[in-house]
Chain A
Amino acid sequence: MSAALPAASFGGAIDFIFGKQESNVTGGRKVGGLEQALELTLKQLEVTLLALALALVVALPLGLWLGHRGRGELLAVGIGNAGRAIPELALIALVAALIGVGMVTVTPALAVLGVPPILTNAFVGVRQVDRAVVDAARGIGMSELEIVRKVELPLAVPTVMGGVRSAAIAIVATATIAPLAGVVTLGDYIINASIYGEDGRLAGAILVALLALALEGALALVQRLLTSDGLRLQTP
């Protein structure tokens, strides 16, 4: 097994990312290289963003509405707690075995991991909004939908985005094991070390780590842009 392969080195991993090399397994077909690394990175980004979008579409309106009505705290917070206990490896394995492989099944499975943090944080974020502000909005004649959209959501942005970032971390991490269900992401370098070698595996780990950090950085930027200036003054 992997113990028989030569040990990985960071130099070897960098070489793997930038230049193609012979594989022990694929019979002449070369592995590694920038082109392949980019292709797998884009695939992982694609499945991550699709799943995150799906989770947002499902969880954000529900969380905001429950928070607005002040109902379903047990549901919103309970799902958040229960969601952390889902073993992602088992989730991917079950989806692959029972429903099928490919983007169409993996994307909703990853979205399942994103729903709990978004739902909980949207609920908590809206609940934290000062009730006097909401009453004032109602007093000047805003409809319930306007209150959610123009008052509660802007004030809840930091908390909501905290949930979105947690969801993104969970989804991008699990997208790494998506090759087990037929979606060939960067995790393929890690999981199929018999094809890519130990250097390839380390290269995969480096690229996955960089991708996750870049995604987190991008979402932090989005949060800054969405947070209103007034809120930013309050919380240095």
Chain B
Amino acid sequence: MIAPAAIALAGAVDEGFFRDRSSDTLACEARPDEVFCFGWARENIDRFLTPTLEHLEMVVASVAAGFVVAFALALLAHRRGWLRPPLLAATGVLYTIPSLALFFLLLPLTGLGRTTAIVVLAAYTLQIIYRNTIIGLANVPAATKDAARGMGYTERQVLWRVELPLALPEIVAGLRVATVSTVALATLAVFVGAGGLGTQIYGGGNLTFPTSVLIAAAIVILMALVLEAALLLAQRRLTPWRRARAS
């Protein structure tokens, strides 16, 4: 019973599969058919901590910056209707340009590093947040706004106490889409030297080996799921009346 396992283990040790600390990838590269190298993963999981935190920081900063700008633009366009189409077109252009290209178009202005990455990732979120905010505000029933005005609300009060709360589900939906795509896109920030999980996929100018790529991809997808769930939870807490109506 024990013999085959022991032989396999001896073989694995012979091939250098088990090491005290195989921070180099030799042990795994020796077996190219191995898709996922658990030995390496166990010993090197700690090297993903810093990139994960960098990644999260970059995503939060980009989405926050994108939200502030897009929200301000949407409020402006809400007041002045003629601004809506040109702003939609402008944010659409930013959304269409591939982020890798936008990184290097900005490079002469902002240089290598975190700033360029955050500006580009934020620019990419503008379209979806702007559009959803506009749609959310447009979907508020006119009768509700009239009722608020009838109660003596000023235009500012109508906006902040009636329109925005009712538009919140759409706004958060836009934020969720923007956040999830930013988590995935931020892997490209490695090309402008901004760190993040991309460093574990494309390190030192070369593609890293599959085990590392798979771990990095898993962390990216997990981060996207967690952030999306957090936003959904926040939306539920902020709109208690929707739950009351549903039940």
Contact = CB atoms under 8 A, between A and B. Distances in A.
Contacts of A142: none
A7 interface: yes
A97 B208 CA distance: 9
B209 interface: yes
Contact of A85 (B180, B191, B216): B180
Interface stretch (A50-58, A147-155, A206-214, A227-235): A206-214
B181 A93 contact: no
Interface residues of B, number: 45
B207 A96 contact: yes
Contacts of B195: none
A88 B185 CA distance: 7
Contacts of B202: 89, 93, 180
A85 B104 contact: no
B221 to A, nearest CB: 5
Nearest to A203: B104
A212 B220 contact: no
A216 B100 contact: no
A204 B228 CA distance: 34
B236 to A, nearest CB: 17
Interface in B192-238: 197-198, 201-202, 205, 207-210, 213-214, 216-217, 220-221, 224-225, 228
Contact of B207 (A172, A180, A205): A180
B209 A97 contact: yes
A125 to B, nearest CB: 17
- The CB with the most chain A CB atoms within 10 A, among B103, B202, B228, is that of B202
A18 interface: no
B216 A173 contact: no
A145 interface: no
A202 B35 contact: no
Chain A interface category by residue count: 35 or more
A127 interface: no
Given A8-B108, A85-B180, A209-B101, A216 B96 contact: yes
B217 A94 contact: yes
A80 to B, nearest CB: 10
Contact of A169 (B95, B112, B217, B220): B95
Nearest to A12: B108
Contact of B104 (A88, A96, A97, A202): A202
B41 interface: no
A8 B100 contact: no
Contact of B184 (A88, A190, A191, A208): A88
B188 interface: yes
Contacts of A201: 104, 107
A104 to B, nearest CB: 18
B53 interface: no
A138 interface: no
Given A85-B221, A191-B191, A213-B96, A98 B101 contact: no
Contacts of B112: 2-3
Which 7 pairs across A and B sit closest by C-beta, in order of nearness? A173-B98, A205-B104, A90-B217, A208-B101, A85-B224, A205-B101, A89-B187
15 contacts: A8-B104, A84-B224, A85-B183, A87-B201, A87-B216, A88-B184, A89-B187, A90-B214, A93-B210, A173-B98, A190-B191, A191-B191, A204-B101, A209-B101, A212-B98
Given A85-B224, A202-B104, 9 more contacts: A81-B228, A84-B177, A87-B197, A89-B201, A89-B202, A97-B213, A169-B98, A204-B104, A208-B97
